[in-house]
């Protein structure tokens, strides 16, 4: 079964084809980073307009490169929740029109479940965590821990009370005038750092499974307001912020794993591309005898393959949408 997957929930337009939920035949993303860079963050109106412009050319290229025809798809899948309203609407409308004209099933997919599913894309059987497992989803819009009982059976154990982890990376990078998106830029800066760490707060480190990144971000912003910022100091702040964020993410994840007896842990979402986070979670989880599962980096950021892949399981479970499917921000 070949499913076409469409992703437009935020600032990446994704189109992909996945076979039987696992084998990624095609996956292409049109990034809007350059459009949003001048604003230091995603501008929703610009993002939805860009999705409109990107979708048809992406689909045409997909058909050209895969030599598939639209009629070869067994279903059309699209992210319908959660995300930016205008952006979701573009994808949902596009997918509905396609499914209707092709007389193929329409499958509305949850973006968070799709991120968690990335672990199964193009993966060997032993690299896919068994159920139940724990998943740390860290992206620009979400930071949460889930007990995963099935690919579309998530139970939220904890999550951010305010900013998402990726959002904090982006805001700190903006405050340091390092550019957008902040995550990869901060990681690169931090890699060069070998000086004295700044001891930024680790919010809610010792309590429960919830996160708060707004306090950490504010502490960084207050710290940098008080000093002259040369490049060296910017690097020190970036590295110390990253370390504090990783400390909290890893500590909470391991606590949740222990308390819930979930010893298989997946790390997914845009921030899961962060190499020091991957390494720290792997290192500390291994010490406890837990197994960590990481998606291929090309599936960390928003993409259509995670939508098409998960949709296969929705279809198996009879979760087909009808043409009343609507965006749910």
Nearer to Zn ion, 54 or 139 (CB): 139
**Beta-bridge mates of residue 293:** 266
- Tell me how far CA of residue 55 lies from CA of 51, 118, 148, 231, in angstroms: 6, 22, 31, 40
- Rounded-to-integer distance, Cα 74 and Cα 69, Å: 11
Residue with tokens 């931090």: 190
Binding residues with ligand KG4: total (CB under 6 A) = 20
With CB cut-offs between 5 and 8 Å by kind, which of ligand KG4, Zn ion, none does residue 108 bind? none
With CB cut-offs between 5 and 8 Å by kind, which of Zn ion, ligand KG4, none does residue 271 bind? ligand KG4
- Rounded-to-integer distance, Cα 265 and Cα 258, Å: 11
- Nearest approach in angstroms of CB 187 to ligand KG4 is 4
- Rounded-to-integer distance, Cα 25 and Cα 309, Å: 11
Residues 6 to 65 in contact with ligand KG4, rule: CB under 6 A: 10
Element (H, E) at 282: helix 275-287
- Nearest approach in angstroms of CB 276 to ligand KG4 is 8
Binding mask of the shown chain, residues 245 to 284, with x at each position contacting Zn ion by CB under 5 A: ----------------------------------------
- Rounded-to-integer distance, Cα 94 and Cα 6, Å: 9
Q: Which stretch binds ligand KG4 (CB under 6 A): 74-82, 134-142, 148-156, 197-205?
A: 134-142
Applying CB under 6 A, which of residues 14, 86, 140, 304 lies at the interface with ligand KG4? 140
- Rounded-to-integer distance, Cα 110 and Cα 229, Å: 42
Contact call for residue 166 and ligand KG4 (CB under 6 A)? yes
User: Are 277 and 271 contacting, i.e. CB atoms less than 8 angstroms apart?
Assistant: yes
Contact call for residue 187 and ligand KG4 (CB under 6 A)? yes
Applying CB under 5 A, which of residues 79, 139, 253, 300 lies at the interface with Zn ion? 139
Contact call for residue 302 and Zn ion (CB under 5 A)? yes
- Rounded-to-integer distance, Cα 307 and Cα 112, Å: 10
- Nearest approach in angstroms of CB 87 to ligand KG4 is 11
Nearer to ligand KG4, 98 or 168 (CB): 168
Tokens, residue 22: 């696992």
Contact call for residue 141 and ligand KG4 (CB under 6 A)? yes
Question: What count of other Cβ atoms lies within 10 Å of the Cβ of residue 195?
Answer: 11
Q: What is the DSSP letter of 198?
A: P
Peptide bond between residue 82 and the one before it cis (omega within 30 degrees of 0): yes
Applying CB under 6 A, which of residues 86, 108, 270, 309 lies at the interface with ligand KG4? 270
Peptide bond between residue 248 and the one before it cis (omega within 30 degrees of 0): no
Applying CB under 6 A, which of residues 5, 158, 181, 309 lies at the interface with ligand KG4? 181
Binding mask of the shown chain, residues 195 to 234, with x at each position contacting ligand KG4 by CB under 6 A: ----------------------------------------
The radius of gyration of the chain from alpha carbons, rounded to an integer in Å, stands at 20
Nearer to ligand KG4, 73 or 213 (CB): 213
User: Are 17 and 3 contacting, i.e. CB atoms less than 8 angstroms apart?
Assistant: yes
Footprint of Zn ion (CB under 5 A) = 139, 302
Which residues contact ligand KG4 by CB under 6 A?
Answer: 10, 139-141, 166-167, 169-170, 181-184, 187, 269-271, 273-274, 301-302
């Amino acid at each position: 079964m070949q499913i076409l997957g469409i992703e437009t929930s935020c600032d990446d337009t994704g189109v992909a084809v996945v076979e039987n939920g696992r084998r990624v035949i095609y996956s292409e993303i049109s990034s809007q980073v350059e459009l949003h860079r001048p604003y230091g963050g995603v501008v929703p109106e610009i993002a939805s307009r860009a999705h409109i412009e990107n979708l048809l050319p992406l689909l045409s290229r997909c058909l050209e490169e895969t030599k598939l025809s639209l009629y070869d798809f067994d279903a059309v899948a699209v992210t319908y929740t959660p995300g930016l309203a205008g952006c979701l609407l573009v994808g949902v409308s596009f997918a509905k029109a396609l499914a209707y004209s092709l007389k193929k099933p329409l499958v509305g997919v949850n973006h968070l479940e799709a991120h968690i599913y990335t672990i199964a894309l193009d993966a060997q059987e032993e690299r896919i965590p068994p159920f139940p497992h724990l998943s740390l989803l860290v992206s620009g819009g979400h930071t949460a821990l889930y007990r995963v009982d099935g690919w579309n059976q998530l139970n939220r154990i904890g999550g951010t009370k305010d900013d998402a982890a990726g959002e904090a990376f982006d805001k700190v990078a903006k405050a340091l005038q390092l550019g957008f998106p902040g995550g990869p830029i901060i990681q690169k800066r931090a890699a060069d750092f070998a000086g004295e760490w700044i001891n930024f707060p680790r919010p809610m480190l010792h309590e429960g499974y919830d996160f708060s990144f707004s306090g950490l971000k504010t502490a960084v912003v207050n710290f940098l307001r008080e000093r002259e910022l040369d490049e060296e100091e910017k690097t020190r702040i970036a590295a110390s912020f990253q370390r504090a964020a990783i400390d909290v993410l890893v500590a909470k994840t391991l606590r949740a794993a222990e308390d819930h007896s979930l010893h298989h842990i997946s790390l997914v979402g845009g921030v899961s591309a962060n190499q020091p986070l991957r390494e720290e979670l792997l290192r500390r989880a291994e010490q406890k005898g837990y197994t960590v599962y990481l998606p291929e980096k090309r599936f960390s950021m928003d993409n259509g393959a995670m939508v098409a892949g998960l949709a296969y399981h929705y279809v198996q479970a009879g979760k087909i949408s009808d043409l009343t499917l609507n965006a749910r921000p």
